[in-house]
Amino acid sequence: MSPEYLAGKEFHHNMIGPVKDFNDFTKKFQTVMKELCIGILRVEEADLAEGRFVITVAEDLDCSGLPELGTQLCSFDEGFISALLECFSGKPFTVKEVDCWCTGDRTCRFSATMNVG
């Protein structure tokens, strides 16, 4: 397991805890992220039945405010979010950053897909 994934699992265990409803999970995740100044989380798209999500993190602690570097920097967030979604749902997810502050976007955007199989 990657350090990012382990960090996400511990974050979920210690900061979010067991939550059954996706809206409650999202609200708690948003609140803790903001309170700890990690970032401002928003769920842009959610398809619970298909296990697909688009999540943004504005003011991301990893890269917000850095100059354009032409490369995405938020690989930590990918593993972190993947673990959080798995802890909530009980199913593994693949998370990929699709927009990043460091590639000229003003928010970091992640596509999350439940692993089937």
What would the mean pLDDT of 63-73 be, rounded to a whole number? 80
pTM: 0.91
The b/e string for 5-35 (b: 16+ C-beta within 10 A; e otherwise) is beebbebbeeebeebeeeeebbebbeebbee
Q: In terms of CATH architecture, what is 3-114?
A: 2-Layer Sandwich (3.30)
Q: Where are the domains of the chain?
A: 3-114
* pLDDT (tens digit per residue) in 87-108: 999 999 999 999 998 888 888 9
